[in-house]
Amino acid sequence: MLDYDRACAAILMESNSASAFDIEGYLRRQSSIIDQALEMQLARYPGESQTLFQVLRYGVFSGGKRIRPILTIAAAEIFGADAKHILPFACAVELIHAYSLIHDDLPALDNDDLRRGKPTAHKVYGEGMALLGGDALLTEAFRIMSDAQITRYLAPELVLDAIRELAQAAGALGLVGGQALDLEAEETDVDLPIVEMIHVRKTGALILASVRIGARLAGASDGNLASLSRYGEYLGLAFQIADDLLDANAGVAVEERAESSRMERKKATYPSVVGLVIARERLAELLQLSLRELDCFELRGQPLVAIARYIAGRAIHLDDARSH
């Protein structure tokens, strides 16, 4: 494992050298583009149940930063793809993410009252409507990706590969499987390999798929796809460790808190198993490993570099942030 102080110093130095890239501005711009596309997709909903439509919008437009769909577009743009051709798949990724959060929050699973500081969907609309809203978002994601219009500008085999990739990430070997492992691990003593297995599936699988889908649709070579896949794997685990660290430091400002607001004391997390210090060391290590995979892309990979630093940086430098 990397020396923590040395790793943090290297990250800070690299961040300063890349200060010309405005990650906050980039995320705002990309998020706005994705929000517009999501608005268009949800506007197609027939609206027989006004309550269900409200649940969909509540789950999708809940204040998230759209990291996953932004990763999809950023990975595709490395290879010169037109973002508008990738947007349907980026939207599908975000809809699946939104569905997973609605379902995770239900009393039968994580039993959360808040998500990003707001009441969870089942607290506002009831458990039945929240469950159906999640079902609808998951189904809608695959409707979007399989729209016949998409094959006018993307090869059918690439579209099929992307659908398969996202289905696998969302299914029993990915997100759903990770949630099942997480549920089974509650109130039990688990070791670090189990924690990593949960994180890699529950959180990492969708992040990895987000990167791979963008790269595959843009025609990445096998070698480039392999590099981006390793980047996505490291980033997916880093994302959850950062989330765990932010959850463990509930005193930070609202905008710096984790995606979830669950009480992690009964959950299998990095901090609960190895402690805060080692969790932060592992996060710094994963960040460095992910950045190395982007060296071959030079300036074309700058958005992905900045996203990785953004995801990990808040948790790595958490003590510094809280002191200001």
Residue 256, CA distances (Å) to 14, 100, 259 in order: 22, 21, 9
Q: Are 212 and 138 in contact (CB under 8 A)?
A: no
Percent of all residues in the chain with a pLDDT value above 70, rounded to a whole number: 85
To the nearest 10 degrees (0 to 180), the angle between helices 83-104 and 205-217 is 170
Average confidence (pLDDT) over 309-319 = 83
Q: Are 106 and 131 in contact (CB under 8 A)?
A: yes
Q: Kindly tell me if the per-residue pLDDT of 266 is higher than 80.
A: no
The winner for highest mean pLDDT among 17-31, 43-57, 159-173 is 159-173
User: Residue 47's pLDDT is what?
Assistant: 63
User: Residue 50's pLDDT is what?
Assistant: 87
The pLDDT confidence band at residue 250, using thresholds 50, 70 and 90, is low
User: Residue 259's pLDDT is what?
Assistant: 54
Q: Among 93-107, 160-174, 253-267, which stretch is predicted with the lowest mean pLDDT?
A: 253-267
Residue 44, CA distances (Å) to 32, 37, 41, 148, 291 in order: 19, 11, 6, 15, 39
- At a CB cut-off of 8 Å and minimum separation 6, what does 220 contact? 75, 78, 79, 228
Residue type for position 16? N
The pLDDT confidence band at residue 254, using thresholds 50, 70 and 90, is very low
Distance, in Å, from the CA atom of 85 to the CA atom of 12, rounded to the nearest integer, reads: 35
Let me know if domain 4-323 sits in CATH 1.10.600.10. Answer: yes
Is 116 exposed, middle or buried (CB count within 10 Å of its CB: 0-12, 13-18, 19+)? middle
Please report, for the chain, the start and end positions of each structural domain, with discontinuous segments joined by +: 4-323
Nearest to 211 by CA among 29, 35, 15, 77: 77
Nearest to 133 by CA among 33, 59, 70, 189: 59
User: Residue 2's pLDDT is what?
Assistant: 47
Distance, in Å, from the CA atom of 309 to the CA atom of 15, rounded to the nearest integer, reads: 8
Q: Kindly tell me if the per-residue pLDDT of 15 is higher than 70.
A: no
User: Residue 17's pLDDT is what?
Assistant: 45
Q: Among 7-11, 199-203, 277-281, which stretch is predicted with the lowest mean pLDDT?
A: 7-11
pLDDT in tens, 73-121: 999 999 999 999 999 999 999 999 999 999 999 999 988 898 888 999 9
User: Residue 190's pLDDT is what?
Assistant: 86
Helix (H, G, I), strand (E, B) or coil at 115: strand
Distance, in Å, from the CA atom of 135 to the CA atom of 144, rounded to the nearest integer, reads: 15
- Virtual CA dihedral for 213, 214, 217, 220, nearest 10 degrees? -100
